[in-house]
Every structure is written in C-alpha cells, then in structure tokens.
Amino acid sequence: MQTPETAESSQTPVVKATDKGKNVVQENQPQQQSVSVASLSVQQLQDMIANSIRAQYGGPPQTTFTYSKPYTKRIDSLRMPLGYQPPKFQQFDGKGNPKQHIAHFVETCENAGSRGYQLVRQFVRSLKGNAFEWYTDLEPEVIDRWEQLEKEFLNRFYSTRRTVSMMELTNTKQRKGELVIDYINRWRALSLDCKDRLTELSAVEMCTQGMH
C-alpha cells in the first residue's frame, strides 16, 4: 500500500471536466491504465469522483460562479409582443407526463400572444424542482429554436425513459478487473437516470463505497 505522498507522486489517470461537461482521462503512460484503488490516496479518490460528477449535481464550475442562459443571444434579443403579460403556467417538476406539459405550455403561450422563438424564453417559467435544475445545468447558448429545447426536454423527462432506483445505485459496485475510472464513469451514467436527486456529497460517498 503506497503512502499518500508516494501515490501523489506517481502518475495516475485523472478525470478532468471539459467545457462540454464530459469527462476525459489524461494518461501519462499507457502501462499505468490498470491503476488500482490501493495505489491512490483517499483524497485522490474523492477528488477523482467529485470532478467526474460535480457538474450533474449542481456543483459550480471551478472557473466561474455565474449563470448563463441556455439560449443564444439572438433569442435573448427578441422582444415580446407589445403589452404582453406573462401568463400563469402549470409547472413541471420532473414527474408526470412531459408531453402533456409541453401541450399545456404551448397552448398557454399562444393564448397569451407568444409563439415560436418566444416560447424558448418563457419555458423556464413553467419548470420547478428537478426540471428547473435540469434547465439551469444546460450548456450556455446552445438553444436557438423552440423545437430544439422541446427535444432536449422530452429526451430528459419522457416517461418511457428507464429510471434507476436508489437501491440499484447503492448496489452498483466496481467489477473485478474494472479500472477505477471506468467504474466511476459507469456509476455516473447510471446516476443520471436515478429518479431521486442526490447531493454532490452523497454521490461521492455512494460511489466511493462501491469501490474495492
């Protein structure tokens, strides 16, 4: 078992968050891909896991604490109709039927005099809970059409999507011979479909407990 000083000086795979929210492995030497948990310090393991899942659990990016709107500047510059008053929307919290929510939202907007691109700016008013958190975690300035936002929303919340229970997530363990980074990424992918939202701290602890 290496000491923390020895482990820190060795070249180990490191998970880094890219500007697209994905995780990549930086490998210094090919033969060190098979690093075991025993060769890493507790702090290194926790840092590796935290960096991998920070974005999905609402942790602020390390470079900025500011919020950026997910739609383009073109959408942001559009003016609402003269005299437009935002209607009271039914709010969606991540549960229920997302297609029905879209239908209610579009109908409410059109009755109030807004349509098309204007729906993009109004959509956030109809979200709360997990759905609102999903919206705020979208990449900045990636949405330029209502159809694009609608597709992203349905892909995330459509009722036929497989959901992962907390029990399944808790029972997900590192497989024999599985690399640490592969286990972390597999666990993270499962956690994205978990019906119960975890805090970043809880996610790190649960993922760590599944290692051997």
Across the chain, what does the average pLDDT equal?
A: 78
Kindly list the domain boundaries of the chain, sorted by start residue: 4-63+164-209, 73-157
Read off the pLDDT of residues 57-110 as tens digits, 9 standing for 90 and up.
555 544 456 788 999 999 999 888 888 888 999 999 988 889 999 999 999 999
How far are the Cα atoms of 11, 118, 131, 203, 207 from residue 187, in angstroms, in the given order? 23, 38, 22, 10, 7
More confident residue, 164 or 30: 164
pLDDT at 41 over 80: no
Q: What average pLDDT score do residues 34-49 get?
A: 65
Beta bridge partners of 26: 14
Q: What average pLDDT score do residues 42-52 get?
A: 74
- What pLDDT does residue 66 have? 77
Q: Is the pTM for the entire model greater than 0.75?
A: no
What is the rounded distance in angstroms from the CA atom of residue 58 to the CA atom of residue 129? Answer: 12
pLDDT at 140 over 50: yes
* b/e burial code for range 45-74 (CB count within 10 A of at least 16 → b): beebbbbbbbbbbebeeeeeeeeebbbbee
Read off the pLDDT of residues 157-208 as tens digits, 9 standing for 90 and up.
876 556 788 899 999 999 988 999 889 988 988 887 787 778 888 889 999 9
pLDDT at 40 over 70: no
Indicate if the alpha-carbon torsion angle 48, 66, 85, 73 is positive or negative: negative
pLDDT at 5 over 60: no
- What pLDDT does residue 50 have? 77
What is the rounded distance in angstroms from the CA atom of residue 165 to the CA atom of residue 206? Answer: 13
Indicate if the alpha-carbon torsion angle 8, 200, 206, 26 is positive or negative: negative
Q: 15: part of which helix (H) or strand (E)?
A: strand 14-17
- What pLDDT does residue 95 have? 83
